[in-house]
A and B are shown apart, each in its own frame.
Chain A
Amino acid sequence: MSATAVHSLWTRAGEVTTAAPGDKFTAPTIEYAQLAPVLIVVGVAVLGILVEAFVPRRARYTTQVFLTVVALAAAFAAVVGLAAGGYAGEKAQIAAMGAVAVDGPTLFLQGTILLVSMVSVFTFAERRLDPAAHGNRVDSFAAQAGAVPGSDSEKAAVKAGFTTTEVFPLVLFSVAGMLVFPAANDLLTLFIALEVFSLPLYLLCAVARRKRLMSQEAAVKYFLLGAFSSAFLLFGIALLYGYAGTVSYAGIANVVDGTVQEIDPALASTMGNDALLLIGAAMILMGLLFKVGAVPFHMWTPDVYQGAPTPVTGFMAAATKVAAFGALLRLLYVVLPGLTWDLRPVMWGVAIVTMLGGAIVAITQTDIKRLLAYSSIAHAGFILAGVIAASPEGVSSVLFYLGVYSFVTVGAFAVVTLVRDAGGEATHLSKWAGLGRRSPLTAAVFAVFLLSFAGIPLTSGFSGKFAVFKAAADGGAGGLVVVGVISSAIAAFFYLRVIVLMFFSEPKADGPTVAVPSPLTMTTIAVGVAVTLVLGLAPQYFLDLASQAGVFVR
């Protein structure tokens, strides 16, 4: 059983006690079928830890990769099954005693997260890029995370051919948290899910095989700032509890609406106090905006994106954003619709500075991973424009954009892992000069991703941007559309700069080479390109899917 459901037990139990004082304890009912995607992932993650303990080192890599892929595929099948069973529409319901909502947005986002995680796991498992160390094929992760960089113990670990296969269960735990995050239907579940997916990510950031100090620094920064934002979130939850006397989304929404008149005697002095509501909501929003990387809560993004092992960066950039925006959507649409007008100026401001800030700062970047980090900030701004639309159309456009964006991101970071020189990945932009001459195909694929990021028509990025801007314009946020369009023009500049470098500059003599990957990374990149082109040319099916999934259950 996941930690989430356990928590929901005592929140619910409390309510039951007040309702019927005679009953000591009501056994919880858990809808196992509806929670199957989460349960499968958590179950296999636990299994993965047992594998670490009992399976011989030699067989661990194969076992872990196999288990992880199977778990993600099975969970995805479960999501598809639930959606086909009508849970995305008329059968949408609150499960696990009010802790988790199983509805259209939940299933759409869970499906996206699972697919994106699956293609990212392929890049985690890639072992052909780095030159073999002492005859052992190695991946992007440190031989032994605990060994001090540069020490004898590290050398010994490398020589012994150790690999950190723990990354696979860690990814699964993280995915489990991400699956719950957008589905969370009370604030405590939200918080637990946040921690469940964040803690493994902090760890994953720290275990790069190359540039280990940078990787560890990134992890510490991420952890400290993440903890900081968690604290804000938790404080916000406490304030909202004080305001509403409950942590369940529906309960808070009722108090905000004014449909609940009776005041809990224990909370008589605070309940219904608007100051608590506003401050609490703002703090929770801060926590979520931190996770999506919106300005001014974006400070961690460039450092962490740059320092983390590139497969982890890709996974984090794609899946975290999907999960966090999912949670943000649910919070704004289910809990705080009554606050739409109060929050509007703030959200407008955040969206505008995020779009412009990301795009402008990205211009000066010289490292491809940092550049993609700032680009992800700008994209967060575009998505926020759709979030603000406050209409079913806005929800579905955001869902669609998230799907589009996550695949392009994973694909782009997968290409970054291929461009290498003696020091590992060559992420400095100057080294990418003339890549189009040396490896036309790799450069062309990366150019497709960049054009999609830039939102050029006939790529998925354009469909997504158009959907979001249209929803925003429909929702009366025409000003945001204009800012979005301007920052798209600014953003186009730095995407183009990379294309210019790759195609129009002469290759340098000591430039990097493009490693030939195994079919694993190739699959990741191929999926990214396919999604980019298909959703650019014929997005109708997925738009339908997103718009059917655009209704939250309350």
Chain B
Amino acid sequence: MSFPLLTATAALPAIGAIVTAAVPAAQRTAAKWLALFFSLGTLVLAGIVFVRFEPGGDRYQLTESHAWIADFGVRYELGVDGIGVALLALTALLIPFVILAGWHDADPLETKSSRWRPTQGFFALILMVEAMVILSFEATDVFLFYILFEAMLIPMYFLIGGFGDRAHAGTDENAAAQRSYAAVKFLLYNLAGGLIMLAAVIGLYVVAGSFSLSEIAEARANGSLEMASSTERWLFLGFFFAFAVKAPLWPLHTWLPNAMGEATTPVAVLITAVVDKVGTFAMLRFCLQLFPEASKWATPVILVLALISIIYGALLAVGQRDIKRLIAYASISHFGFIVLGIFAMTSQGQSGATLYMVNHGLSTAALMLVAGFLITRRGSRLIADYGGVQKVAPVLAGTFLIGGLATLSLPGLAPFVSEFLVLVGAFSAYPVVGVIATLGIVLAALYVLVLYQRTMTGPVGEKIGGMPDLRVRELAVALPLIAVLIFLGVFPKPLTEVVNPAVQHTMQDVQKKDPQPEVEAAK
């Protein structure tokens, strides 16, 4: 038996979480370094997975399979396809930056109680989320995935509710109340989605008699598992509902601005760049594979919802007065693009959507983390409190601008490639949809540039003068992210190579062929 690489990739951060949590209260700094080392170790393992993965090989690679709960028909089954590998790499890459960016965010305000260890808890919870997210990208057993999908809510919940944004406007008590409101809203939305999915998971088992993704997909493909179309549709809806809450898709998105606004910026990045990706990933892996017919049946409605997300999210982002909520609404708009790419059911669209997941993670992380540095300096999230920052802290302003430009998909930066692919994919299948979605790009330019203009340019605002520029730790967060964004913008091949074969498999599942471009067909 070979070395269980995939298990190790998830186990390392989990062990790291336990070790970090066990560090004594006084050794805060040691806990931070431990967490960073464990996350870097995970990155190395993820790198090995990325290298070992053969793009042209089997659909699921590095598979592991062990008996787990025989009574429920559940096995501990892991395996990655190209989509999983890409997202696994994204997660492993982002977490060290999240930890580094949140270096001081969980320091206790006063050291009165020796038993209260918020710092250790903060980093342990981040590592715990990383472990669960990575394992959920690897799970090829529906039940195992479901367990992780639900269980990761708990550490996220404590991260949102337990560690608020220091820079909150208003009194402390008010901040705590809003924070726990945001945490509860996050958990209730996602838990409700998850429980509806539970009913569908049970229903799937009753119908299929197995939780193994490959077994069910195979049985469906060779016709030994017949599913009445009404059953399939109900099950599809159960799954999709949970993923749409997580993703989040309009109208189930309202938890995201609250959660991202109230959480500390590293946690906000964790939510939108990492955890929410599980939702869109699961749409590709579970909805399309298990319920291809129902997916096609639901496509028109889902495309409309995705379009609404794109336009509505962008419009609300334009109107925001709060930097973090602005980025949250921008993310909703971007998730609309991802869902659009997935359900356009063309290979460009799905490749684009997968790349979009990775690139959105990178660009949002860059923008949000730099915004976090800015907010920590001024102590306010309100755009109106800023102005002229670029004169005082040019490096900060510059990195913020690049993060922003990546968010609006400037050519040359990574998100451009994916957004272009998604739009091409959507356009070739549904031209009208493609045209409307393009409006989202225009609006993105508006909200990003207006944000930059209001905060960074103009006369130097009150309390902005004397603001220090980025420190070494902060540069260590911003610069590598920007480097990756530029690299993947110029040379996306390593990623597309891995993703494309997986997308072809998914396309086969739904038995869709790309529509031939008319010009070529005429020749």
Contacts and interface: CB of A to CB of B under 8 A. Distances in A.
B71 A540 contact: yes
A438 B202 CA distance: 41
B180 A500 contact: yes
A458 B194 CA distance: 14
B176 A505 contact: yes
A492 interface: yes
Contact of A437 (B113, B146, B147, B195): B113
Contact of A481 (B70, B158, B161, B202): B202
A50 to B, nearest CB: 46
Interface in A491-523: 492-493, 496-497, 500, 503-506
A451 B161 CA distance: 16
A473 B198 CA distance: 12
A215 interface: no
B121 to A, nearest CB: 8
Interface in A516-554: 538-540, 543-544, 547
B154 interface: yes
Interface in A388-439: 437-439
B196 interface: yes
A470 B154 CA distance: 24
B147 A469 contact: no
A504 B176 CA distance: 7
Contacts of B147: 457-458, 462
Given A492-B188, A492-B191, A543-B69, A482 B199 contact: yes
A544 B69 CA distance: 10
A478 B203 contact: yes
Contacts of A485: 195-196, 198-199
Contacts of A462: 147, 150
A264 interface: no
B117 interface: yes
B151 interface: yes
Nearest to B113: A437
A463 B157 CA distance: 22
Contacts of B176: 504-506
Contacts of B150: 456-457, 462
A474 interface: yes
B202 A469 contact: yes
A441 to B, nearest CB: 8
B205 interface: yes
A376 interface: no
Interface in B450-470: none
A488 B194 CA distance: 11
B68 interface: yes
Nearest to A483: B199
B180 A470 contact: no
29 contacts: A437-B116, A439-B115, A440-B115, A456-B150, A457-B151, A458-B151, A467-B72, A470-B72, A470-B202, A470-B205, A473-B205, A478-B203, A485-B196, A485-B199, A489-B188, A489-B195, A493-B188, A496-B188, A503-B158, A503-B161, A504-B162, A504-B180, A504-B183, A505-B180, A538-B68, A538-B69, A540-B71, A543-B69, A547-B71
Interface of A: 437-440, 451, 456-458, 462-463, 466-467, 469-470, 473-474, 478, 481-482, 485-486, 488-489, 492-493, 496-497, 500, 503-506, 538-540, 543-544, 547
Given A457-B151, A469-B198, 18 more contacts: A438-B113, A456-B150, A456-B154, A458-B151, A469-B199, A473-B203, A473-B206, A481-B202, A482-B199, A488-B198, A496-B157, A503-B161, A504-B161, A504-B180, A504-B183, A540-B67, A544-B70, A544-B71
Q: Which 6 pairs from chain A and chain B are nearest by CB?
A: A457-B147, A543-B71, A504-B180, A489-B192, A485-B195, A457-B150
